Amino acid sequence: MLKNAYIIIFLACFFGLYLPSEARANSDNENRASANLDYQTIPEMQFREIFHKYLCRRLNKQGSDIVINELKVMGNMAVPAGKVSFQVFQKTRKKLDGHVKVIAMVSVNGMLKNKVSLSAWVDVFESVVRTSRNLKRREVIKKGDVYLERINVSHLSKNVLTDIDRVIGLMVKHNVKEDTILKKWRLEKPPIVERGDKVIIVAESGTLKISAPGRVLEKGYLGELVKVQNSMSKKKLYAKVVNSQTVMVDF
């Protein structure tokens, strides 16, 4: 009997001490879980998404035109539970391709809670104009002389030409090899008249119209003023280029 009494006392002490301790541990875990539910951590994928949308909007591009690489998210701390919103901006006005840094302001229920720095290498893809054959200096570009190709333009200068319709009819300043990416500095409008060309100088006022033969003293472009000389009076004046045979003066 005495032995049984000792066993009962031992078990009572054991369970009396152990069970409350386990209950306290469970209670602490529940409290911590409850505390964690009051905060939230924004996943990196969400920052990638808002960064991508910001770039698309600023660059006026489709989503498939922009690729974000090596994204770094700095300062992403837990914020209170609630509805999260973002405002993204650049500290300084820099290009939005290559290495790009932005700031994401994180608000919860309309109240600012955190500022996160985002940086990444941004590749932008765009269709550029390439030459389909060798072009000689002062040759005027025709439709079959160029084509479009979609490439990564992040490492290219901003004067790369992307509209093939604006290239047709322009003249190359220098010899250009096949498959060259065309840039603005390579092209110019072809002159309508060249130095030494013979033209008709026309002057009109109401119903009165006077014309005289003349000679062009410098190359000129359609609609622009060019220096000419009246072949009869030898007088030099400026006239607007109408076409390759006619210039017009005001009087």
In this model, does residue 13 exceed pLDDT 50? no
Residue 130 maps to which CATH number?
Answer: 3.90.1210.10
Q: Say whether both 130 and 97 belong to one domain.
A: no
On average, the pLDDT of the chain sits at 86
Question: What DSSP assignment string belongs to 58-108?
Answer: HHT--GGGEEEEEEEEE----EESS-EEEEEE-SS---SSEEEEEEEEEEE
Among 161, 188, 215, the domain-final residue is 188
Residue-range definition of the domain harbouring residue 228: 198-249
Domain membership of residue 30 (yes or no) is: no
**Domain count of the chain?**
3
pLDDT band with cut points at 50, 70 and 90 for residue 121: very high
Write down which residue in 188, 206, 223 finishes a domain: 188
pLDDT 10s digits, 133-174: 999 999 999 999 999 999 999 888 778 999 999 999 999 999
Considering the domain architecture, whether residues 137 and 162 belong to the same structural domain is answered as: yes
User: Quick check: 40 pLDDT over 50?
Assistant: yes
Q: What percent of the chain has pLDDT over 90?
A: 72
pLDDT of residue 134: 96
Domain membership of residue 105 (yes or no) is: yes
Amino acid making up residue 45: M
> Has residue 3 got a pLDDT over 80?
no
In this structure, is residue 6 part of a structural domain? Answer: no
d(CA 125, CA 134): 25
Q: Provide the whole-model pTM.
A: 0.64
Residue 11 pLDDT > 70, yes or no?
no
